[in-house]
Amino acid sequence: MIQSTCSHAGKSVLTAALLRLLRDRGFRAAPFKAQNMALNSAVTRSGHEIGRAQAFQAEAAGIEATFDMNPILLKPTGDAVSQVIIHGKVFGSMSAREYHSFKKEAKRFVVESYERLSAEYEVIVIEGAGSPAEVNLRENDIANMGVAEMFDAPVILAGDIDRGGVFAHLVGTLELLSQAERERVKGFIINKFRGDIGLLKPGLEFLEARTKKSVLGVVPYFKEMLLPDEDGVALDSNEPAGVYAVTIAVIRLPRISNFTDFDPFRAEGVNLRYIESPAEIEGADAVIIPGTKNTISDLKWLKDRGFGEALRSFRERGCVIFGVCGGFQMLGREVNDPFHIESSKASEAGLAFLDCATTILEHKKTFNVRASLDFDGKRFDASGYEIHMGETKGRLKPFSRISERNGEGVEVLDGGVEGAVFGTYIHGIFDNDAFRLSFLDMLHGKKGLSARAETSFAAKREDALTKWGALVDASVDIDAIMKIMGLGLNA
């Protein structure tokens, strides 16, 4: 099990790297995260919703993702309320206190999933959540040490040196664990190191002497990280903008979800900015309104911030506005919530850029989809996934025509188009290379610039994953980790 001293220390990508390296050594290995709190999710081939990190880890392991890899997914809808998804389907909404009481019952879902996975795979690599040192959450823990104890998993503790204080974080975490939990920790990985490793040596020696545990590796900061981030904190650490031909601004909604939809632009030499004020729209060639776990609350936030007026001005200049899922819903005339799923309000006026209205329903739709669409004079085939509780109706020119949901043929009109305003329910739409490049060509063309050469996002991400695995392999004592896991050293 990979645990860490805090969120965003690299558990997800270290788990992915270990799974890739085990695969390369001939083992059938699978990821497992018992409880994941995240707004970035994915839909399995069977139509079940799981954390996006586990879908990516399955990709790293070379296997198909299933809901057993993330039996419990928590998606915050407010400051103290989350939608609880169990085995890929909505179980209900709970306050933090209600969920804390529910965890004892939830353990059985965790055990069921783990047992199915362990019957199919030789190795399970478990990812923790947050920090194991949250002593107030220790009772009925199904995220960190409780899971390690449940399945008798040895633990490797990771720390993020880039944010500072890594030795205090590692030592302090151990101090807050019970004696049995400390004994379960078999070593450390220090992640995101920049600089001369020789200068780090005294600190490593101190850490090993103080804790009587080994430092299993120091992983350098990886600049080519085209791997998906799970935590919203990742949006705080974007690299400084350089000189780019095209700028795309994504509105950073308070409850932004599935911001990995826009990762493909990171591989395209595009200035991708997450913005929180209307003034930051200046200089953008396109503005994207992303998905959200609470459309009504985030729509009100957007309007209160003054984005409505700024976006109208942006649209009148012929600039591109693109809404995905909740962002698409905001582009319509109104969002209605008759069952009060998201809000005590029954309705919230939308931006009225598209002639449609959305009603939030009680049942969530989760589909893997295939679709066709016409864009900028060309026709494209596309794939992606839907995750939404809203149903949108109106007099719209559709963005796409969905022909397949979860492997079954359908005929469903999706989204809407009005001038340079586009909306769709399809997450992952920009992962489709031909469409993404046509979208960027259109933005370049509006500035009188030439079209771009074609690139493959999937190939670039696979290349990044290969390089990341090689970097971890070179930086971490993988043989020692395999020995900790009780594995033979396969070639």
Percent of the chain with pLDDT over 90: 88
Q: Which residues contact 101 (CB under 8 A, 6 or more apart)?
A: none
Asked, for residue 233, whether it belongs to a domain, the answer is: no
Whether 440 and 466 map to the same domain: the answer is: no
| 319: three-class secondary structure by DSSP | coil
Whether 220 and 285 map to the same domain: the answer is: no
Instruction: Tally the C-alpha atoms within 13 A of residue 25's C-alpha that lie toward its C-beta.
Output: 21
Tokens at 59, concatenated: 């990709």
Instruction: Tally the C-alpha atoms within 13 A of residue 468's C-alpha that lie toward its C-beta.
Output: 28
Q: Each residue of 2-42: pLDDT tens digit? A: 999 999 999 999 999 999 999 999 999 999 999 999 999 99
Q: Each residue of 329-340: pLDDT tens digit? A: 999 999 999 999
Tokens at 224, concatenated: 């080519």
- pLDDT band at residue 78 under the 50/70/90 scheme: confident
Name the percent of the chain in helix, strand, coil, to the closest 5.
35, 30, 35
Contact between 447 and 285 under an 8 Å Cβ cutoff? The reply is yes
Q: Which residues contact 80 (CB under 8 A, 6 or more apart)?
A: 95, 96
Whether 200 and 252 map to the same domain: the answer is: no
| Confidence at residue 240, expressed as pLDDT on a 0 to 100 scale | 45
Whether 195 and 279 map to the same domain: the answer is: no
Whether 348 and 252 map to the same domain: the answer is: yes
Asked, for residue 241, whether it belongs to a domain, the answer is: no
Whether 428 and 332 map to the same domain: the answer is: yes
Whole-angstrom Cα Rg for the chain: 23
Asked, for residue 240, whether it belongs to a domain, the answer is: no
Whether 59 and 183 map to the same domain: the answer is: yes
Whether 296 and 176 map to the same domain: the answer is: no
pLDDT at 234 over 60: no
* Domain range for 104: 2-226+462-485
Judge whether 169 counts as a catalytic residue. Answer: no
Angle at 381 between CA 378 and CA 384, to 5 degrees: 130
**Bridge-based pairing state of the strands 72-76 and 81-86:** antiparallel
What average pLDDT does the chain have? Answer: 94
Asked, for residue 59, whether it belongs to a domain, the answer is: yes
d(C-alpha 419, C-alpha 190), whole Å: 50
Whether 54 and 81 map to the same domain: the answer is: yes
Domain count, the chain: 2
Asked, for residue 252, whether it belongs to a domain, the answer is: yes
Asked, for residue 491, whether it belongs to a domain, the answer is: no
- pLDDT band at residue 217 under the 50/70/90 scheme: very high
Whether 157 and 260 map to the same domain: the answer is: no
Asked, for residue 284, whether it belongs to a domain, the answer is: yes
Q: Which residues contact 313 (CB under 8 A, 6 or more apart)?
A: none
| Confidence at residue 62, expressed as pLDDT on a 0 to 100 scale | 97
Which residue type, as a one-letter code, is found at position 387?
I
Whether 206 and 270 map to the same domain: the answer is: no
| Confidence at residue 356, expressed as pLDDT on a 0 to 100 scale | 98
Residue 169 sits in a domain whose CATH number is 3.40.50.300
Closest CA relative to residue 157, chosen from 123, 121, 133, 180: 133
Whether 102 and 160 map to the same domain: the answer is: yes
Q: 48, 169, 388, 427: which one is catalytic?
A: 427
| Confidence at residue 343, expressed as pLDDT on a 0 to 100 scale | 85
Judge whether 6 counts as a catalytic residue. Answer: no
| Confidence at residue 83, expressed as pLDDT on a 0 to 100 scale | 95
Tokens at 380, concatenated: 């494209």
| Confidence at residue 236, expressed as pLDDT on a 0 to 100 scale | 58
Contact between 274 and 250 under an 8 Å Cβ cutoff? The reply is yes
Q: 6, 319, 325, 356: which one is catalytic?
A: 325
> pTM of the predicted model, to two decimals?
0.92
| Confidence at residue 451, expressed as pLDDT on a 0 to 100 scale | 72
Asked, for residue 236, whether it belongs to a domain, the answer is: no
Residue 267 sits in a domain whose CATH number is 3.40.50.880
Tokens at 255, concatenated: 């409850």
d(C-alpha 11, C-alpha 14), whole Å: 5
- pLDDT band at residue 230 under the 50/70/90 scheme: low
